[in-house]
Chain A
Amino acid sequence: AQSVTQLGSHVSVSEGALVLLRCNYSSSVPPYLFWYVQYPNQGLQLLLKYTSAATLVKGINGFEAEFKKSETSFHLTKPSAHMSDAAEYFCAVSVGNRDDKIIFGKGTRLHILP
């Protein structure tokens, strides 16, 4: 069985500060890992994905995440927060097979302080 745990349901950072959203995964097989962002009343947008290639993954909007197998982590970072980054962020895992279902974490609401 696979699962993801997102630490912190709410995270607040000041504009211009480092963003760090934590995600730990559990998987019996090599996982595919994803970060999605959701703005209010909208669907999900893929920020980035890890698919067993490079462990440091760069995504859209300046976000990146590093896959650390020894720590079973896939934390999301951005060097400098922008007001437009305020949203809900979901970490997710799948086994990577074609058409396989994705399991989502509970989400972290990111607040940006002016």
Chain B
Amino acid sequence: GAVVSQHPSRVICKSGTSVKIECRSLDFQATTMFWYRQFPKKSLMLMATSNEGSKATYEQGVEKDKFLINHASLTLSTLTVTSAHPEDSSFYICSAARGPEQYFGPGTRLTVT
């Protein structure tokens, strides 16, 4: 149990376009999901906490207008990178909370050309 999926696993987009990444908890309900960004050979940086039915809580320095988060249901959170630029290229990982534990998705590799 406790499986989290992400879609797509890889995406390449042109500069200026928007990209949506989905995070789903497949076999449990998660009122809270988290979005992380990971730069090459670096640790995970928490971007925001996504709460079902309410606005996301963004970490300091993360542009909320650029990284739109919607927690539409107890099993789905989406991250939309708006007007993407090459510096937004990264590995994005989501997690879903169940009690004190988090279960991580497999990640999405975003490349902006």
Q: Is there contact, CB below 8 Å, between A90 and B99?
A: no
Contacts of A99 in B (CB 8 A): 31-32, 97
Q: Chain B: which residue is nearest A94 at the CB level?
A: B100
Asked whether A44 and B104 contact (CB < 8 A) given A90-B43, A104-B44, the answer is: yes
Using a CB–CB cutoff of 8 Å, the interface residues on chain B facing chain A are 4, 6, 31-32, 34, 41-44, 46, 49, 91, 93, 95, 97, 99-107, 109
User: 7 A-B contacts, Cβ less than 8 Å apart?
Assistant: A42-B107, A44-B95, A45-B104, A98-B99, A100-B100, A105-B43, A109-B41
Interface size class, chain A: 20 to 34
Determine the residue in chain B with the shortest Cβ distance to A105. B43
Q: Which of B4, B46, B93 contacts A101 (CB 8 A)?
A: B46
A89-114 interface code vs B (CB 8 A; 1 in, 0 out): 01000101111111111110100000
Tell me, in angstroms, the Cα distance from A36 to B101 when the chains sit together: 12
**Given the complex of chains A and B, what is the CA–CA distance between A57 and B39 in angstroms?**
30
Is chain B's interface secondary structure helix, strand, loop, or mixed overall?
A: strand
User: Within 8 Å CB of A102, what residues of B?
Assistant: 34, 46, 95, 102
Q: How far is the CB of A108 from chain B (nearest CB, A)?
A: 10
The A28-61 residues at the B interface (CB cut-off 8 A) are 32, 36, 41-46, 49, 51
